[in-house]
Chain A
């Protein structure tokens, strides 16, 4: 290759100005684009990956392909396009994630909303005021010295109407547990009050999930169906879009939905959005920088690179950063917006309070002559769960840790490459292995993320730029410093043991229990619930965006996504992510556009 030809620097060509540029067309980008086009603004969304649509990209003739979409994870970002480096401690060298393991970042229009499970959980009221709440109940000394949890700057009550909005956008299937203060039979008795019932009823539950609920009930717990964005019936959402009933195919997480029955930007927003004259999308175009003026306090637009290597500049009055939590943080760092966080001093806005999710599970092996679970029947959000051990729903005083999570039989299916398991002690190969998978496949309970615990924030778990490794543009990769702390390990052990009791009570012959322990393992999957880095808060010294997700540094920049979470609760994040997007959109429509500038005094 003749390098001299390409030695000259690249100039970006400038495009006509738009009112709004949206970086990343996933869930939050789609919500915001729809809201701001309704406001009459001229909006362009720039998405790094390809446009995606069910009939062409996830048809039911080829979606049932575990090798292609799960094992080779074809719908996801290629590490070659962008990846991270990872280490556990400050004194270690971070190494690149050359292939994904612990998490799997999305790519393409629809983002993670295409291939998520559609588990739709609200956080608890206490989760939003975590620092205050735990300090009041247990005293400041009860919390580990290096724990840096914070209050969010908004309350559950303020967010409730937006939770409702996103639930109805998606047609969520569930059973209410707390309806305007009244505890309802069959729902989650611990949830915060909801203003109205779910838009569709809960999904049907297969055999093992039903059996789990029975066992849980007999142990005194209050099991309830997991709230699901895989719909139980046909539904027409508030935008007029039609969705179908989920057919329990068992190809949910990692896969796009073939029959319009999983809530995604494709099924709930995009067909309406693209018809608007004031909306344009560009796919296969990666935003590489948010540009600011000389003062550094005002964004002028973005620079992006398209698939032919051309660089373009898209000027805009308002910039929405909605590129998925981790890419939000990375782009802030690469654009030089906000002081990078330094774990040694505890100062800086960007990169602090990075969190994941504390996950483990218990597999149960049952007598095949008595139990046939047909485990291949499932949906992404099927499941019977209990919430007795989430958040601060139980007394942590005697236990020596804080946090918790739901546990449940949330098995989404049984694709054989990953689900042909053998009981503990079985050889890994040979005739014994072959016989064991034959004897156990139909009678194994494999919950997956059966223990789904919180991951609180710590001083030395954070994001910054790597000193050694570079991406394909020559920019530093973002470095993750992350480990499992004693608090989370204790929390997980406690929850896992409780969970195991219920699996045993179902009638399992043997159990395979795994705990989540240090060191944080980059090679085993622990959900893609990566959060923080650009957190929201009331105090500009310890947060990057204010309560409206507006950047403290650049007032015409809003940063949407789980990057805003000051710590992670014991629930899947997307419903809260979607609610916050609607909340921020409201603030922009009703306050910011009338008077552009900081919405909160710094």
Chain B
């Protein structure tokens, strides 16, 4: 029994539209020939760059792009729709204009505004041709009957007209324009970061309305119980300590000498960045490293402070067997906490969470080991977690604000119910 509602984007309106349908092959009307191999291949690659699969596929269910995956937003959960070419519950009956409007303008099929959980404010950087190539590719995936009720945010966010205001504040429509003073590689990187790869969706902090704080572009942001790190070239908290090759390596394999991707980034590496070309990951690296950090100075906390001494004892007894007495870990096995900007981040959410719950790093074909960090939540009390992190953040040349037991207690309570 399919629920029909006015707000439901995808159910049952197909019959009202006279659209020429080609069995699972999707609409043949349109600017891009669905049978064009080049367009489909290009579209497939663009869908990888755009990481459509991340939101639109339920993990471990072998129904790519069939939707149904709940996306966490600060306002509640919103469920990603079915974008397979299914005529009734997918986008098989959409026109090219409707598809392009959704992806690049944030306007749904019936003219309603989409929530920016769909990162149209990034995808706007792509060209119409790019987007229709994605469509050509999506037309080739298996059509799956899977009705999805997309609008699940609580009132008042369920009223989509409020998006008009949001769009006015935060949505800057328009394709990417190359900077003629910069190299082709830099421009490619800027296009990817701000466009299909939509890095800012996680790495740029948001206002309370969920729009980008552009003054802190890519300087890190909390989400889903993690803190996405600063990915500008800041020496202390960003990519300043990595070479372009090391950034590219991280994106391509999920690992480098210093650290490994885990949590939501593990998924981004698995589904998207590890499948990009070497040139593209290099371009992203080049662009990111061109963004200056804020260079705020930070003084290290003295080793003699009681919290540092306690943290040092814990580190020596518990952490050093993997992360080393010198904090340098083991290449591509145990992160180098001595050199980790993640460890030094002003927002310690991710490091607290990893210590409490453990973490699995991503496996890629080039780096299949996927080492895991054990969970210490059962063993270390809040003050002990705080002190060992304070110690790590202020040893071997590191400097960062102390972590407090209250921060640990709050995070411990808030992640208890999470299953990820």
Closest Cβ of chain B to A580, distance in Å, is 26
Closest Cβ of chain B to A273, distance in Å, is 9
Mark the stretch among A51-59, A205-213, A284-292 that contacts chain B: A51-59
Task: Decide yes or no whether B331 CB sits under 8 A from chain A.
Answer: yes
Residues of the B chain whose Cβ atoms lie less than 8 Å from the Cβ of A56: 358, 372, 374
Indicate whether A242 sits within 8 Å of B369 (C-beta atoms), given known contacts A60-B322, A61-B379, A234-B331. yes
Residue among B333, B373, B378 with most chain A CB within 10 A: B333
B interface: dominant SS: loop
Task: Decide yes or no whether A271 CB sits under 8 A from chain B.
Answer: yes
Residues of A240-269 at the interface with B, using a CB-CB cut-off of 8 Å, are 240-245, 247, 249, 258-260
Pair A240/B368 contact, Cβ less than 8 Å: yes
Residues of the B chain whose Cβ atoms lie less than 8 Å from the Cβ of A59: 358, 374-375
Task: Decide yes or no whether B370 CB sits under 8 A from chain A.
Answer: yes
Residues of the A chain whose Cβ atoms lie less than 8 Å from the Cβ of B371: 54-55, 242, 260
Task: Decide yes or no whether B318 CB sits under 8 A from chain A.
Answer: yes
Closest Cβ of chain A to B405, distance in Å, is 19
Residue among A62, A239, A259 with most chain B CB within 10 A: A259
Pair A240/B367 contact, Cβ less than 8 Å: yes
Closest Cβ of chain B to A252, distance in Å, is 13
Chain A residues with a Cβ closer than 8 Å to the other chain, count: 24
Task: Decide yes or no whether A275 CB sits under 8 A from chain B.
Answer: yes
Closest Cβ of chain A to B378, distance in Å, is 8
Binding site for B on A (CB under 8 A): 53-56, 59-62, 234, 239-245, 247, 249, 258-260, 271-272, 275
Pair B368/A275 contact, Cβ less than 8 Å: yes
Pair B333/A234 contact, Cβ less than 8 Å: yes
Indicate whether A61 sits within 8 Å of B366 (C-beta atoms), given known contacts A242-B332, A260-B333. no
Would you give 22 A-B contacts (Cβ < 8 Å), ordered by A? Answer: A55-B371, A55-B372, A56-B374, A59-B358, A60-B322, A60-B374, A61-B374, A61-B379, A234-B330, A240-B367, A241-B368, A241-B369, A242-B333, A242-B367, A244-B334, A258-B321, A259-B322, A271-B368, A271-B369, A272-B368, A275-B363, A275-B365
Residue of B nearest to A245 (CB): B330
Residues of the A chain whose Cβ atoms lie less than 8 Å from the Cβ of B213: none
Pair A60/B318 contact, Cβ less than 8 Å: yes
Task: Decide yes or no whether B217 CB sits under 8 A from chain A.
Answer: no
Residue of A nearest to B325 (CB): A247
Residue among A60, A243, A272, A275 with most chain B CB within 10 A: A60
Closest Cβ of chain B to A69, distance in Å, is 16
Residues of the A chain whose Cβ atoms lie less than 8 Å from the Cβ of B375: 55, 59
Q: How far is the CA of A56 from the CA of B377 in the complex (A)?
A: 12
Q: How far is the CA of A420 from the CA of B370 in the complex (A)?
A: 39
Pair B321/A259 contact, Cβ less than 8 Å: yes
Residues of the A chain whose Cβ atoms lie less than 8 Å from the Cβ of B374: 54-56, 59-61, 258
Closest Cβ of chain B to A225, distance in Å, is 22
Q: How far is the CA of A249 from the CA of B317 in the complex (A)?
A: 11
Residue of A nearest to B377 (CB): A61
Closest Cβ of chain A to B420, distance in Å, is 15
Closest Cβ of chain B to A524, distance in Å, is 32
Residue of A nearest to B371 (CB): A260
Task: Decide yes or no whether B360 CB sits under 8 A from chain A.
Answer: yes
If A259-B322, A271-B363 are given as contacts, then 9 extra A-B residue pairs at C-beta distance below 8 Å, sorted by A number, are: A56-B372, A239-B368, A242-B330, A242-B333, A242-B371, A243-B333, A244-B334, A258-B321, A259-B334
Residues of B360-397 at the interface with A, using a CB-CB cut-off of 8 Å, are 360, 363, 365-376, 378-379
Closest Cβ of chain B to A502, distance in Å, is 33
Residue of B nearest to A54 (CB): B372
Closest Cβ of chain B to A247, distance in Å, is 5
Pair B331/A53 contact, Cβ less than 8 Å: no
Residues of the B chain whose Cβ atoms lie less than 8 Å from the Cβ of A247: 321
Q: How far is the CA of A239 from the CA of B370 in the complex (A)?
A: 13
Residue-wise, chain B 313-325 has the 8 Å CB interface mask toward A (1 for contact) of 0000010011000
Indicate whether A249 sits within 8 Å of B367 (C-beta atoms), given known contacts A244-B330, A260-B333. no
Residues of the A chain whose Cβ atoms lie less than 8 Å from the Cβ of B321: 60, 247, 249, 258-259
Residue of B nearest to A62 (CB): B379
Q: How far is the CA of A460 from the CA of B376 in the complex (A)?
A: 53
Pair A55/B330 contact, Cβ less than 8 Å: no
Residue of B nearest to A247 (CB): B321
Residues of the A chain whose Cβ atoms lie less than 8 Å from the Cβ of B363: 271, 275
Q: How far is the CA of A531 from the CA of B370 in the complex (A)?
A: 35
